[in-house]
Amino acid sequence: MTRAILIPVALLLSLGARNTMAAERAIWAWEQDSYAMVQERAAGDAAIAFLKSKGIRILYLYADAFQGRTLLAARPNLYRAFIRRLHANGLRAYALLGSAYLHSEEYILPEHRAAALAMFRRVLDYNAAAKPGERFDGINLDIEPHVLDQWAQQKVQLLGQFLDLGQAFMELKRASGQSLPVGPAIPFWLDGIVLDWHGTTKPVSEQVIDIYDYVALMDYRDHAEGPDGIVSLGADEMDYANRGHKKVVIGVDLGVARISGLWWIRASSFRRLPALAGTQPAHRQRRGGCCGALGTIAAALF
């Protein structure tokens, strides 16, 4: 599964905003670290202090099974307490679903559909039972079919199953009556694959954007400008999403370092973010004002 730093980009034109806003950072926390945060007061306090010190406002908090336990179902009080603390500190929490540990790339396969839907439903059930200040603010999915061994031979079929699963997730969300935003991580090259899905033929990236509230585009480049840069590779997805009043999250690999058993972002990585964010106005001008400003910068903690 993906282990890289992300930069979420909010398409502000859907909200009627055209000016560049101050970048808002977010961060992913994977299995081991998320479980430590919700179970250990000291780990949770250290994480909150770290997020605030780096100006990070959104935590993608892993919320599925790990090492034979599913804390969200077995001990939801742990998540409630930690999310309350996040909210009290001006931070937001998205439930992060999917992991290498669970081989959740297999969740698109029919024989694993029930496990995938149960994973998603647990978050909806948790939110329904929690008080407002204890609820997840959104869901982020990391289910990547291109990791499967059969990808090269069955790409078209697997992508269709990926879209079918996304549709099923969103049907569950609608049936729950909840409004939290839901979106998956997808590679930037999906816009180069055209797929006929249920009678609609268009790039897979556009099919995914149509289904979900937002997408996280894995746009792993270390430079913003140029034909192979972050802005260029994400431009079509941002343009399409904006037309549908959706959001795109663009992923950038900035590098990490392990300190005291946790993966922290290098200080040098954070110093690079303003330079990347500063390219957005130029992109907006080139595209005739089509795309919104950089909205959220996310990193990864795993």
Q: Which residues contact 99 (CB under 8 A, 6 or more apart)?
A: 1, 30, 31, 62, 64, 66, 142
pLDDT at position 76 is 98
In terms of DSSP bridges, do strands 194-197 and 92-97 run parallel, antiparallel, or are they unpaired? unpaired
pLDDT (average), residues 72-95: 98
Share of the chain above pLDDT 70, in %: 73
- Residue range 157-195, pLDDT digits in tens: 999 999 999 999 999 999 999 999 999 989 999 999 999
pLDDT at 264 over 90: no
Write the secondary structure of the chain as one string of H (helix), E (strand) and C (coil): CCCCCEEEECCHHHHCCCCCCCCEEEEEECHHHHHHHHHCHHHHHHHHHHHHHCCEEEEEEECCCECCECHHHHCHHHHHHHHHHHHHCCCEEEEEECCCCCCHHHHHCHHHHHHHHHHHHHHHHHHHHCCHHHCCCEEEECCCHHHCCCHHHHHHHHHHHHHHHHHHHHHHHHHHCCCCCEEEEEEHHHHHCEEEECCEEEEHHHHHHHHCCEEEEECCCCCCCCCCCHHHHHHHHHHHHHHCCCEEEEECCCCEEEECCEEEECHHHHHHHHHHHCCHHHHHHHCCCCCCCCCEEEEEEC
Question: Does residue 48 carry a pLDDT above 60?
Answer: yes
Mind listing the pLDDT tens digit for each residue in 92-108?
999 999 998 999 999 99
- Taking a C-beta distance cutoff of 8 angstroms, is the pair 204, 161 a contact? no
Residues of the chain above pLDDT 90, percent? 56
C-alpha span between 217 and 185 (Å, rounded):
6
pLDDT value at residue 299: 41
> Which residue shows structure tokens 């929690």?
130
Give 198-251 pLDDT, tens digit per residue: 999 999 999 999 999 998 887 776 677 788 777 778 888 988 998 998 988 776
Which residues make Cβ contacts (< 8 Å) with residue 193, sequence separation at least 6? 155, 159, 203, 204
pLDDT band of residue 2 (cuts 50, 70, 90) is: very low
* C-alpha–C-alpha distance, residues 254 and 299, integer Å: 8
Does residue 47 have a pLDDT over 80? yes
Band the pLDDT of 254: cuts 50, 70, 90. Answer: low
At 273-283, the pLDDT tens digits run 444 444 443 33
Q: How large is the C-alpha radius of gyration of the chain? A: 18
Q: Quick one: pLDDT band at residue 252, thresholds 50, 70, 90?
A: low
- Range 68-73 average pLDDT: 96
Question: Within its chain, how far is the Cα of 139 from the centroid?
Answer: 7
- As a whole number of angstroms, the distance between CA 83 and CA 301 comes to 17
Q: How confident is the model at residue 9 (pLDDT cuts 50, 70, 90)?
A: very low
Which of 9-18, 139-148, 289-298 has the highest mean predicted lDDT (pLDDT)? 139-148
Judged against a pLDDT cut of 90, whether residue 285 lies above it is answered with no
- What sign results for the dihedral spanned by CA atoms 253, 259, 264, 266? negative
Report if pTM > 0.85.
Answer: no
Region 56-78: mean pLDDT is 94
